[in-house]
Structures are given as C-alpha cells and as structure tokens.
Structure 1
C-alpha cells in the first residue's frame, strides 16, 4: 500500500511539473474548490439541507474571496461548516502555495524553481523585491492584521450584548473575511445594522484597505522603513495615489448623489458614503446600506469601481489599478504623438504594456459575455445583471439582491466568473489556451496592421 501511494505521489508530482505555472494555478485553485465543496456537502456540517450546486457556489465564492452567496452561511452551516468556509477564503486570500512555500523557507531556507515559477506567475513583482522577502511579508503581515482586526471586532461586538463564545467566533470570522476582502458575513443583512457604528466601520475599512493595497506595497513600505535608502517602487506610488483618488471620487458621488445615503443624518452620512466607496474599490464586498435601493447612476458608479478593483498581488480583485494606469498612459501618449509610454514622468516597459492591454481587453470581454449570457436566462433588469457579473468577476461580493434567485444556468455562470476573477483573466486564458510555439509559427512573417 505504501509503495502504491509513493508511486502515485511520484507520478502526480511529475504531472504537476509538466504543467505550465498558469495550469498549476488553475488546477490548484480548482482542487481547493472541489475539496471545499465535498466537505460542505457532508450532512453533519449543515444546519439545513443544501444542494450540491449551492455548496459548489459557496466554495467557489470563498476560494475566490468574492462573498456572493445563494444561501445564508449562518442558517445553512454549523460552526464547523462556517470554519471550513473561513479556511477556504483564508487560503484564497493569501494565494496558492504561499503558506506551504513559507514553511519550506522556514525549514530549508530554499525554494525550488517550480515553486518560484508559480509564485512569480501569481504575484507579479517589481525587480526591487525578492520573492523570499515577499513571502515573509505576506504571512507575517496577514497574521498581524487579522489578530488586530479580531481584537477590534471583539471590542465592538462586546457592546452589542453577545456572549463570549459568539463574540469571539464572529470577531475571528469577520476579521479574516475583511482582510482577505472575502465579503462573507454571518449576519444575514450584512452590516446594515451598523451603518453608524464608527468602530465597526473603521475596523472593516482598515482591514480591507490594508489587504487590498497588495503585498507588493506592504513589502516595499516595510523595506523602506527598515532601510531609508530603499526607494519605493513605481508600482507602490501608483497604487497609493490612484486608489486614493478613486476612493475619493466614489465618496463624493455617494455623498452627494445617492438618496439612500444623503438622507442619513450627521456623521452616518459621511461614514456610509466612504464605506460604500471603499467596499467597491477594495472589493471587500461588505455593505452598510442596501445596494438594491440605489438609483441607476450610483449602480453604474459602483460597477465602475468594482471593474477597476485595487492593487495587484493583494487580496482584492478587479482589473487592477496598475492596468488602468497603463491603459491611460497609452491613450495619453498616443494623443500627444509620443513614442514612449510614460506616466508621472516614468517610462513604462513595453512588456508591461502588452500585459495591461491584453488584460483590459480580455477582462472587458468577459464582462460583456457574462452579462449577455445572464440576460438570456434571468428575468432581472439589465443593470442588476451587469452589477452581478461585475461583482462576480471582480470578486467583490456586492449584489442588488438577485444572487439567490438565479437559475441553475445563472448560478453556474457566476461560479465560472468568480473562478476566472480569482485566477486572473490572463492566467485563466494562458492555462486554457497556451501551447508551445512550433517551428512553423516562428517562421510566420511580420506584417503591418493599420489601427
């Protein structure tokens, strides 16, 4: 039996090493989802009977750190089932192989080329950051922030009259969910009852923003704090500046335009406006007001923020701020007739521009296809469907309230969108369609194309 297991493991490892890094990520996250689905299907983890499709939906939503749900997590699963869901979005948040590679570094202080190739594919790092420093930053920073968040939640929930055990579990669950921008809540109405609770709003915002800033930014800033001679990367500067501007943009629209928010009194109006902008931008997916009541212009503003998303190599989803920056830089340089593509006085390498434009086109195309497919089978307004698709692909988790009422085809479509969103549109495309370049393809002549 031992020999059989050993031979099977050897063949499996050889198979994995034969896959491309993108295919390893594809099958790695798919394995997480399938294992999570099987566990959630166990009757003794459920409070009420839950279908296979709903369990698959919840597992995919957790691994992709989305937060869209077709059934109530609190009403459908017991504390062990809730713990399985929490483990899934923790693994999805920090990334495939991150924790195991960190343990490998802690024991052998070396990582294999196989591990390194996968991590470099999942986390696109600037040249100024070493993969070893990056991994240590991910694990330690995640632990520190989630413990701090749990403490703050515990203090906030204590005033709500909860028992010690209930308070402790809710604090841990929501802290990990917020930092991983997973959007899963054990409250059926989300955080709408806490719209004016400053400590809860602050805790969620702090965790979501620090998680969505990306591990590149955190590692970069940490190295700068240790060594003042270390220069912050261009990526860090772009992420901080653009995310701040976009969050302010969203805040102003929510504050002045959305009736649900500007009808609130006092500080609650400011808090609610900031929180809804933050939750869309960081893709954390928590809400303190009902998005189903929003007017159409604010639905579109929220879709735009979810579409952009946050920083690369972090817990958030979306197309990414750096992709938006690169596309805007291309447009600006073309309009000014410049050959070099620059942003804030820095020239962006062409290989990064190719990735950004490909990602922009592919991401937008998937949103269009997903929206078209849902309009074929779902009896909801176009804006609600577009909102749902953008939330799923951006791994946000916000909804106008249609998720649980989707058809089997609709739920299946959203599952695929969430999986693509977590994997990354280009990684997904390369995992499915990439192949080795043949000698014949190398001989193809270059031709000009007028655009």
Structure 2
C-alpha cells in the first residue's frame, strides 16, 4: 500500500495543475458514484446511470436531478450527496491544504501550483490567508445558516427531527449554490415565506460573491491592506446591476406571477437571484415562464457568479472584461480600460477564451440534445445552459431525458465545474504569473 501511495504521488507530480484538478474531481465523482450505487443507501431501486448523474451534479454543485434525492436515497445516501456538493463548493484542494496549514506544515510547491490553478485570484493575494478565509467563512456561514433554517422550518410547521437534518442540508446546499433540496418542489411551497427567501438569498449571494471578496474585506478590516481591490469593486457592481435588471424584467414581463400581488417582487428577485448566483432553487415553476423571461433567465445563468466562489457560470468579471473590450474597441482606444483602470492583456485573453469555450460547449451540448431528445429547442437550451453554468434550474425535462441525453448533461455539468478553472487557466499557465504594468489593475477572471 505504501508503495502504491508513493507511486501515485510521483504520478501527481508529473501532471500539470489543471490535470491534477481534472483527475481530482474525476476521482471524487467516481467515489461518490460507487457509494451511491450501494443498495443499502437506497430507499428504492435506482439505475447506475442515474446515480452517476446525481454524483456528477453534486460534485459540480449543479442540482439537476433525474430522480428525487429524498425519495430515492436514505439518510446515508443524502449525506453522501451533501458531502459531494460541499467538496465541490469549497474546492478539491482546499480542505487538505487547510489541514496542512493547521499542523504548521508549509504548503509544498505542488500544492500551491494546484491551488493557484483552482482559484482565480488577483495578484498580491496570499494563498495561506485565502485558504483560512475559505474554511472559516464557510464554517461560520453554514452554521449560522443551519440555525436560521431550523427556526424558519419550525415556524413553517416542519416536523422537528426532519427540520434538524433539513436545516443542515439546505444550509450547505444554499451556500455552495448546489441547488439540492429535500423537497420535490424545491421551495415552491415556501414562495410567500419571507424569512426563508431572505435566508436562502443571503447564503447564496455570500457563496457566489466569492472568497476573493471575503478575503479582501477581511484584509481591509484587519489592516493588512489599505483599500478594496479592483476585482471586488467590479464583482459588487456587476452583481447588483444584474440582480436589479433580472428582477425588473421578471416582475414586469412574467404573467405567471402577476397574481401573487404582495409576493410578486420577492418572487421576481428570488428567481433572478437563483439564476445569477447559480444556487438553483426556485419558488415558482420555471416551466411556466414565458419565452422572453426564460431568455433573460438563460442569460443570467450563462453569466453566473463570481470567480473563486461556490457558484458557476462564465463569471461576472469575464462579462466585465468582454464589455470593456467592446466598449474600448468601438471608441478606438488602444488600451482596454474599465472605470479608468487598465485591464492586463493576459486577463483579456482568458476572458475571450472562456467566453468562446462556454459558447462552444453550450452549442454542441444543445445540438446533441436536439438530436437525441424530443423536447422544444428553448427547453433544451435552458437545460444545457443550466448544466454548464452549474445552476440546476430546469423547465421540467431532466427526468425525461434519454440515456444519451443524461450522458450529455453529465459531461456538460462536469465541464461547467472545471471550465473557467481549468480550461481558462490553462492559458494563463503558460506564464509564471500575471504581469501588471504601471497604471494597470488586475482583474481575476
């Protein structure tokens, strides 16, 4: 056994950081799949392909499901699913690296390379402080979230014993923007519950804003830095803008929620929030949305959350870089600037490459599903966008996918989890670091 471990470690050292991430997430997915295939974690029979779908959806923090998790798996099976999306949310290397730091052991050069590949960070961030902020913030937020969920569920009349497990499960799921729940209608039965709506929104936004923002604010409050970084300011600005725009569009143009009256604004915000943060919960049936609002929701899912957070999608900073390129091009500027700050050329390369990668995978996934499935094109496009953005929202076609359709979505979800973190950073890996010149402000993409 010792020899095998030694050989495996040597094998890891021969891989690039991006390859280590690929094999790491594959191994977690494979182990989760095997555990979910064991009969004693089942309440009812489930196929191996459906278990693979659930395992991949969990490790990618997507939330799409071909079978009901609560009806198919017992408590142990549900715990396995929760463990997978907890790992997927905070990152493949985060926990083991934090253990090493806790034991006062220095991170090896290999650890640091893989971590730098897994998390997009602006120049100047210390990886040790970053790891500590991830673990501490995650534990604190999820604990507070679980306590608040318990209070909310008890007030809503949920049975106390189930409320305990449900609170823990949904707190982790919301913060990790995983979208897995223990209610088959997601949170539709709680559409008018203001406390639960706010709680889920706070947890999801905290996770989706990213650990860059958390670390940045901590460093500022502790006096380690004197100002908030350009990346954090950009993340906040773009997130607020898209949340407001999404809420306004749903509120004024979605006829299926017009009867909700007092709850209409809350429902509109929640659906905008769940798409942008990629948390994947819904309080009204998404399949009832009109085509225009479905298109707006698709755009929000495509953009997604922020870099180095628990959410998926193309990332808000990538959208910022693309808009900056377009705006400066039509104004015939030689440099690409955003609010007076010059964005490094290397980051612009990453942004355009990530955009093309997502567009290509989305196109081919949609094409394959269009060839294998008997659903309208707008539902297929919504499903594949939800998969690559690791969102988990669906118009209701997930359970009706054919075996080939499930395979396509499994691949798309996995690429979505690795996309910007592996394929995008593979371009940056050609250089030892991002170089910024005088007057440039680094923007994590």
Aligned to 1:197: 193
In structure 2, relative to structure 1, the CA distance for the partners of 1:435 and 1:248 (3 Å cut) is closer
Q: 1:241 aligns with which of 237, 241, 257?
A: 237
Matches within 5 A, 1:308-319: 308-319=303-314
User: Partners of 1:300 and 1:14 in 2: how far apart?
Assistant: 48
Runs of 4+ in 1 over 2 A off after TM superposition: 160-164, 428-431, 433-437
Task: Classify the secondary structure of the residue corresponding to 2:361.
Answer: helix
Q: What is the deviation of 1:223? A: 1.0
Tell whether 2:361 aligns with 1:366: yes
Alignment of 1:319-358 (within 5 A): 319-358=314-353
The answer as to 2:97 corresponding to 1:101 is yes
Deviations 1:213-271 (A, max 9, x none): 000011001111112852111110000000100000000011110012222121x1111
Summarize deviations over 1:182-231 as a string: whole Å, max 9, x none: 00001001100000100100110000000000000110011111128521
C-alpha contact 1:26 1:428 (8 A) present in aligned 2? no
| Distance in 2, Cα, partners of 1:55 & 1:291 | 25
Equivalent residue for 2:287, pick from 274, 279, 292: 292
TM-score, structure 1 normalization: 0.93
2: CA distance, partners of 1:160 / 1:436: 54
1:51-450 equivalences under 5 Å are 51-227=47-223, 230-266=226-262, 268-425=263-420, 427-428=422-423
- TM-score of the superposed pair, with normalisation by structure 2: 0.95
Deviations 1:48-77 (A, max 9, x none): 011000000000000000000000000000
- Counting matched residue pairs gives 431
Q: Secondary structure at the match of 2:261?
A: coil
Change (3 A) 1:426 1:108: closer
> Which has the greater radius of gyration?
1
CA RMSD between the two structures? 1.6
**1:374 and 1:385 in contact (8 A); partners too:** yes
Equivalent pair of 1:359/1:426 in contact (CA under 8 Å): no
Q: Distance in 2 between matches of 1:274 and 1:40?
A: 35
C-alpha distance in structure 2 between counterparts of 1:290 and 1:203, whole Å: 20
